Amino acid sequence: MTESLEVKLQREELLLSAFLEMVRSPDGDFGVIDQLAQASSDLESL
């Protein structure tokens, strides 16, 4: 695998993990929402 593909897969895995954590968390857990926001932010486009 190329390095860029590995980075993309790692980012997708992190995003999926953060999303699933949000789904499983109790209502009102804003820390989990923050984790999802961080995982979904695209640092390369800034």
Give the pLDDT of residue 46.
45
Give the pLDDT of residue 20.
93
Is 15 exposed, middle or buried (CB count within 10 Å of its CB: 0-12, 13-18, 19+)? middle
What is the percent of the chain where pLDDT is above 70? 87
Neighbours of 44 (CB within 10 A): 7
Tens digit of pLDDT for each residue in 3-24? 788 888 988 899 999 999 999 9
* Confidence check: pLDDT of 45 > 80: no
Give the pLDDT of residue 16.
92
